[in-house]
């Protein structure tokens, strides 16, 4: 077995196991070491992934694809997970199960990496389950807090349904097409109603991962209730993975026009629902959750023109990267502000906490796509791909939604910048602040060095 | 050289944001940055040349055909010069402020962005600056405005972002229809894409008209303007009216007129009608206002209506070439003249607010006694705005209507009514403010101080100069070179 092909994934796995063991022997006040170990392990995984960059092959009997998209996921997922790790040490400082958090986080990241690389429906199912099961735990990690439990429970119920549907879908496709291997399925999937139903069920499960309609309802609850580092993780990492997996599935059936159309409609509904729901939110974390739903809607535009436009995959991956960085930045700022979340508490915050609030502002403007921030360049790539693919109606809906989204982002930024704040705001400091600066720098780097970043994006997949 | 004119204010803004300078130092940093930009632009002007000059190019995202491209022709150079001048005046305008350093940082930022918008030759860079101008103005209005400032700022930002996104869609479609993906304005102007008749080009044109129309603003998408003006601090209003509104009409000329002339010609008549409606609507509604700033704000709608009429006539492919050239010359002149005149009027309004915290016209009267210099400046600016011969407004409106009579005589005749109403409303405003009895609560009203007088005098002398001897500006604008070869295609 070409075991070296999975070196990045194995690095994450072994680190997670090591953290689990370490957390057992360390006294609680030293669990911060587990964070360092987690970050180091993820860093090693990135280095190993970088070493395999440029490869274009299937491995493990065709169940795992090592191509540009996988390489992207192997760098983006551990990279952004490191940021989530960075928010955690002080956040969980008094939690008795502090150390184990990193182990679960890494298992979940492993699941996401496996989703992104899966080139076989069975493999995809297993990876989805790994990512989901650990996700439920992460969401409910504050088990003494009802809202966190509620978030975990909702995530679990919707996830269980989505994964069950997925298994049924996989069975239907396998039964009708005779294989679960992408290499054999590519281009030879029959287009009878049963198979299409199976494919649609698989898509539904991926929509759940992505937080797209109809599987989106968990996102705001998780964003509000999960511990902030876990919320940052769950609103970013599974989405990165889900986007790649969705693109791979859609590319399997180039002839079938219904699936791209379905994705386009889902994209339109998702961005609209996300934005409308975010409009009058009085809770900033919940608002971030809904905004994350709407961002998924934009990203799906690129999937809707998959295959029709060469720029679709680069646009999708570039947009998801930028979205991930900006979302992590926003959550890092909220972690730095000790989870401050009521909208009213943000008024006048610019004066007392200029850097944290500046980070929130920058992240929000990047979500809107105000140039020259990277968010604009990502959205620009999406619009260009969508228009080139002939979906001008979808681009128009996206424009209307962007305008709508500006309104609720300004509901946070405006009072924070214009009102007079009182008193001092508590901050978390330590690695949380470090993470804030790191994400800040990442966003600026992505904005300034867009050209090499863009040309590095993979142009196609190998199924 | 042009890059310097953009970077100097932007760097000054960064400096002001980072380094804790005092209020006076902050002000002078911002002023000298704008002045430096002005000097750089004047140097470009004296170097002369035809077509796009002082061109420079640095690649940014080569695979998408996006680059930092700068270069100016007569129109953009004239507009950039006017903007830089207005920024010097507005930044130097004395203000009593809280967090002054941040205020001047935003002013310098806005100066760099606005000049950048006029001098860039890349559509995406153009869009970048277009959007950044919204961000800068949003913070200026929201933070240093008065009254319902936050609400006005929000409305302004959301409304105009809607327009700018439509423009983005249009720009992408234009670039995708080029033989090779590029956002280079010169390439697109040289071989305009989307020449065919049909729904597609029509929709792109519509997107541009709505997008730039919101920014201009044209009736019926002007409703963001009055609240934004009324609640903004005086110098910010001057910038908003003098510079930011010009971005709409500049874009209208640069992009739909020059890059899709055939489609423009097909839709010129509706656009001209829109212009005339704006002229009338702006002037009639302005007449009804009792709020000083609101009244001036609506006259902006009216004046930008003249500009839109001129642009529509220029792109109509009807009438004689001379008529269309006259109209375009008039449109560009009107932009410059309106920038200077309305800029001065809003600065005057700012001076009134600083002294009284009141804009309600019936609360005023008899200011000519205590404030002769303010009265003189306001009278001159108002006369220029209503189009008195010998002042800049007259020259531009004369050009526009001469051209318009050659192409759409009936529309031009209706549009003339606007001038009449504007004259009435300005005369009434002057009477209410400066003549009659001085109300008791205005007893301590002080006249303009030396800085204010000097700044206003500088702007109004230019207004006078353009009115008396416009040749130098006309030869700079050189509208003949702007007009695309229409009539050959569609």
Q: Is B132 on the interface with A (CB under 8 A)?
A: yes
Residues B165, A399: C-beta atoms closer than 8 Å: yes
Q: Which pLDDT does position B311 carry in this prediction? A: 93
> What local confidence, expressed as pLDDT, does residue B488 receive?
42
d(CA A240, CA A231): 14
> pLDDT at position B366, please?
83
CB–CB contact A406 B158 (8 Å): yes
- Mean residue pLDDT of chain A comes to 91
* Interstrand relation of B66-72 and B53-61 (parallel, antiparallel or unpaired): antiparallel
CA atoms within 13 A on the CB side of A47: 7
Whether A454 and B61 lie within 8 Å, measured CB to CB? yes
Residue A425 has pLDDT above 80, yes or no: no
Q: How far is A379 from chain B (nearest CA, A)?
A: 11
Residue A441 and residue A355 in contact, taking contact as beta carbons nearer than 8 Å: no
| Contact between residue A458 and residue A72 where contact means Cβ atoms under 8 Å apart | yes
CA distance A27 to A192: 59
Task: Note the pLDDT tens digit of each residue in B379-418.
Answer: 999 999 988 888 888 899 999 999 999 899 999 999 999 8
Q: Do A399 and B62 touch (CB under 8 A)?
A: no
Of A402, A407, A454, Cβ closest to residue B165: A402
CB < 8 Å to A407, chain B: 154, 158
Instruction: Say yes or no for a CB contact (<8 Å) between B154 and A414.
Output: yes
Residue B279 has pLDDT above 50, yes or no: yes
Q: Does A452 contact B at CB distance below 8 Å? A: no
Distances (CA, A) of A300 to A10, A319, A385, A399: 30, 10, 11, 14
**What was the ipTM of the complex prediction?**
0.85
Q: Which chain B residues touch A454 with a CB distance below 8 Å?
A: 61, 63-64
| B178 touching chain A per CB within 8 A | no
A372 to chain B: which residues are within 8 Å by CB? 128, 132
Residue A26's alpha-carbon distances to A31, A97, A385, B30, in angstroms, are 6, 11, 51, 57
Beta-ladder partners of A283: A342
| Residue located via tokens 């129309």 | B213
Strand A64-66 relative to strand B53-61, pairing: unpaired
Residue in B with minimal Cα distance to A350: B143
| CB-based contact A389:A304 (threshold 8 Å) | yes
Environment class of B186 (CB within 10 Å of its CB; exposed 0-12, middle 13-18, buried 19+): middle
The residue of chain B nearest to residue A404, with distances taken between CA atoms, is B158
In chain A, what percentage of residues exceed pLDDT 90?
70
Chain A touched by B147 (CB under 8 Å) = no
CA distance B273 to B176: 31
Q: Which two tokens stand for residue B164?
A: 């700018």
- Tell me, yes or no, if A395 comes closer than 8 A to chain B by beta carbon: yes
State both tokens at A368: 């809107």
**So what's the pLDDT on residue B485?**
59
Identity of the residue in A371, A402, A410 whose CB atom sits nearest the CB atom of B127: A371
* Residues A417, B166: C-beta atoms closer than 8 Å: no
In A133-284, which ranges are E strands?
A: none
For B322, the token pair is 């001379």
Using CA of residue B38, residue B44, residue B50, residue B54, what is the dihedral sign?
Answer: negative
The answer to whether the beta carbons of residues A321 and A446 sit under 8 Å apart is yes
Residue count of chain A, please give it: 463
User: A455: which chain B residues are within 8 Å (Cβ-Cβ)?
Assistant: 63
Q: Is the pLDDT of residue A295 over 60?
A: yes
Residue percentage of chain B with pLDDT more than 90? 39
Percent of chain A at pLDDT > 70 equals 99
CA-nearest of B384, B377, B345 to B241 is B345
Rounded to two decimals, the pTM is 0.89
**Cβ within 8 Å, pair B172-A417:** no
Alpha-carbon A309 to chain mean position: 23
Beta carbons of A403 and B162 less than 8 Å apart = yes
Closest CA to B5 of B76, B102, B94, B104: B76
Measured between alpha carbons, how far is B291 from B145 in angstroms, rounded to an integer? 16
Answer whether B149 touches A (CB < 8 Å).
Answer: yes
Q: Is pLDDT above 90 for A382? A: yes
Does residue A323 surpass a pLDDT of 90?
yes
Residue B490 above 50 pLDDT?
no
pLDDT of A433 reads: 92
* CA distances (Å), origin B372, targets B265, B296, B435, B455: 49, 21, 11, 16
Could you read off the pLDDT of A37-71 as tens digits, one per residue?
Answer: 999 999 999 999 999 888 888 888 889 999 999 99
The pLDDT value recorded for residue A149 is: 93
Count of beta carbons in the 10 Å neighbourhood of residue A194: 12
Average model confidence (pLDDT) for chain B?
88
The pLDDT value recorded for residue A463 is 61
**Distance, first Cα to last Cα, chain B:** 39
Query: Hunting for tokens 């969980």 — which residue is that?
Result: A92
pLDDT band at A222 (very low <50, low <70, confident <90, very high): very high
pLDDT at B487 over 50: no
Residue B316 has what pLDDT? 87
């Amino acid at each position: 077995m070409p075991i070296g092909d999975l070196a990045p994934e194995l690095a994450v796995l072994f680190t997670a196991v090591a953290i689990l063991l370490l957390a057992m022997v360390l006294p609680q006040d030293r669990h911060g070491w587990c964070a360092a170990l987690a970050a180091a392990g993820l860093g090693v995984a990135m280095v190993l992934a970088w070493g395999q960059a440029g490869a274009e092959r299937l491995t493990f009997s065709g169940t795992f694809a090592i191509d540009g998209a996988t390489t992207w996921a192997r760098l983006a997922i551990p990279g952004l997970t490191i940021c989530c790790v960075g928010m955690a040490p002080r956040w969980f400082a008094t939690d008795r199960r502090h150390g184990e958090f990193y182990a679960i986080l890494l298992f979940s990241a492993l699941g996401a990496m496996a989703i992104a690389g899966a080139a076989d429906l069975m493999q995809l199912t297993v990876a989805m389950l790994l990512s989901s099961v650990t996700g439920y735990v992460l969401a409910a990690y504050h088990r003494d807090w009802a809202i966190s439990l509620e978030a975990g429970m909702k995530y679990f119920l919707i996830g269980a349904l989505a994964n069950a549907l997925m298994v049924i879908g996989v069975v239907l496709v396998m039964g009708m097409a005779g294989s679960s291997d992408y290499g054999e399925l590519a281009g030879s999937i029959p287009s009878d109603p049963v198979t299409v139903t199976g494919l649609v069920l698989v898509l539904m499960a991926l929509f759940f991962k992505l937080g797209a309609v109809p599987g989106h309802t968990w996102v705001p609850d998780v964003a509000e209730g999960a511990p902030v580092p876990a919320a940052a993780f769950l609103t970013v990492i599974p989405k990165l993975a889900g986007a790649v997996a969705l693109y791979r599935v859609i590319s399997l059936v180039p002839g079938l026009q219904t699936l791209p159309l379905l994705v386009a409609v889902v994209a339109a509904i998702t961005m609209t629902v996300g934005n409308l729901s975010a409009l009058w939110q009085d809770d900033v974390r919940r608002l971030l959750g809904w905004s994350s739903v709407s961002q998924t809607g934009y990203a799906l535009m690129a999937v809707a023109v998959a295959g029709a436009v060469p720029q679709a995959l680069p646009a999708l991956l570039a947009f998801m990267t930028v979205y991930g960085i900006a979302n992590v930045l926003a959550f890092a700022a909220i972690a730095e502000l000790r989870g401050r979340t009521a909208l009213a508490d943000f008024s006048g915050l610019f004066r007392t906490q200029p850097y944290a609030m500046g980070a929130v502002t920058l992240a929000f403007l990047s979500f809107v796509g105000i140039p020259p921030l990277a968010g604009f360049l990502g959205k620009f790539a999406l619009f260009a791909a969508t228009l080139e693919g002939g979906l001008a109606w979808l681009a128009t809906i996206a424009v209307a939604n962007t305008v709508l989204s500006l309104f609720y982002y300004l509901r946070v930024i405006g009072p924070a910048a214009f009102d007079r704040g009182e008193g001092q705001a508590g901050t978390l400091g330590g690695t949380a602040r470090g993470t804030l600066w790191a994400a800040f720098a990442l966003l600026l780097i992505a904005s300034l060095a867009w050209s090499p970043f863009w040309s590095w994006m993979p142009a196609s997949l190998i199924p | 050289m042009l890059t310097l004119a953009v970077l100097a204010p932007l760097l000054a803004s960064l400096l002001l944001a980072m380094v804790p300078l005092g209020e006076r130092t902050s002000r002078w940093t911002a002023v000298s940055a704008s002045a430096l930009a002005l000097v750089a632009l004047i140097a470009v002007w004296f170097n002369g040349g035809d077509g796009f000059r002082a061109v420079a190019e640095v690649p940014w995202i080569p695979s998408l055909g996006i680059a930092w491209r700068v270069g100016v022709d007569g129109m953009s150079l004239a507009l950039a010069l006017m903007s830089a001048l207005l920024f010097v005046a507005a930044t130097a305008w004395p203000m009593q402020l809280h967090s002054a350093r941040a205020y001047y940082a935003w002013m310098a930022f806005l100066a760099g962005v606005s000049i950048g918008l006029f001098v860039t030759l890349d559509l995406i860079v153009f869009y970048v600056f277009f959007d950044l101008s919204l961000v800068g103005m949003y913070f200026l209005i929201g933070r240093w405005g008065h009254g319902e400032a936050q609400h006005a700022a929000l409305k302004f930002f959301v409304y105009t972002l809607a327009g700018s996104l439509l423009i983005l869609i249009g720009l992408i479609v234009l670039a995708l229809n080029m033989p090779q993906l590029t956002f280079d304005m010169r390439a697109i102007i040289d071989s305009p894409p989307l020449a065919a008749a049909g729904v597609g080009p029509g929709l792109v044109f519509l997107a541009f008209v709505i997008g730039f129309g919101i920014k201009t603003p044209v009736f019926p998408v002007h409703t963001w303007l009055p609240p934004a003006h009324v609640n903004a601090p005086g110098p910010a209003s001057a910038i908003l009216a003098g510079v930011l509104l010009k971005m709409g009409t500049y874009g209208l000329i640069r992009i739909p007129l020059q890059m899709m002339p055939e489609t423009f010609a097909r839709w010129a008549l509706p656009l001209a009608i829109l212009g005339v409606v704006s002229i009338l609507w702006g002037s009639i509604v302005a007449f009804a206002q009792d709020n000083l700033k609101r009244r001036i704000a609506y006259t902006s709608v009216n004046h930008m209506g003249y500009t839109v009429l001129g642009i529509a006539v220029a792109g109509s492919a009807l009438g004689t070439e001379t008529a269309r050239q006259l109209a375009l010359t008039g449109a560009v002149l009107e932009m410059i003249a309106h920038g200077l005149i309305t800029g001065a009027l809003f600065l005057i309004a700012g001076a009134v607010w600083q002294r009284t915290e009141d804009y309600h016209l019936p609360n005023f009267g008899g200011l000519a006694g205590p404030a002769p210099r303010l009265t003189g400046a306001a009278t001159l600016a108002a006369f220029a705005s209503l189009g008195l011969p010998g002042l800049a407004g007259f020259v531009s409106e004369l050009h526009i209507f001469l051209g318009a009579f050659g192409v759409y005589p009936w529309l031009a005749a209706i549009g003339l009514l606007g001038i009449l109403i504007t004259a009435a409303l300005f005369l009434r405003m002057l009477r209410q403010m400066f003549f009659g009895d001085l109300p008791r609560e205005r007893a301590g009203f002080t006249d303009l101080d030396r800085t204010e007088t000097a700044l206003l005098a500088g702007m109004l002398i230019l207004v006078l100069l353009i009115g008396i001897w416009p040749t130098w500006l006309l030869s700079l604008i050189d509208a003949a070179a702007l007009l695309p070869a229409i009539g050959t295609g569609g």
